[in-house]
Amino acid sequence: MTTPILKDAWHEAIRKCIEDVLSDKTCYQMRVKVNAFSLDAIGSLETNVVSTPTIKRVTMPAADTETSYALPAETKRFTIMNAVGIGTLKTGYVAGSTSTVDHLPIFAGGAHFEEELSKDSSYTIYMQSPDAATEVVVLSWK
């Protein structure tokens, strides 16, 4: 049986975490000992709820040529999927980065996810494929 003190500590920790979330802070880790067992709640709780998804297919007509895609204004999260390509997609956030070693590779059938973006900033994704007519799917949320 859980002692009242530990039970109260657990409830206090949950209450504090909820207060942090409601005040737009993030509660990353909370650890409370209950009956000599460690109970971990690890994760991100946030009020930055997304509601409007956008699906965009971006075609790269030429092989080894950088193509850009501007994310919709106020995007909070996005996923880039190399679902249709057969080669490794090179991605970056700076023009020209896909032709250097400073790129993020997304393998055929793979995806990359970014979250907690500042909705007050604009983001452009630069992409390059070794294959002509590669189609990339970008799923973004506002």
User: Where along the chain do its domains lie?
Assistant: 4-42, 53-141
- What fold is seen in the domain 53-141? Jelly Rolls (2.60.120)
Q: What is the pLDDT of residues 19-33, one digit of tens each?
A: 665 554 444 444 333
Give the chain's mean pLDDT: 76
Q: Are 85 and 137 in contact (CB under 8 A)?
A: no
Of 46-50, 78-82, 105-109, the range with the lowest mean pLDDT is: 46-50
Q: How far apart are CA 33 and CA 137, in angstroms?
A: 45
Residue 89, pLDDT > 60, answer yes
Predicted confidence at residue 28, as pLDDT, reads 41
pLDDT at 121: 82
Distance of CA 105 to the CA centre of its chain: 16
Pick 1 or 129 by higher pLDDT: 129
What pLDDT does residue 17 have?
Answer: 58
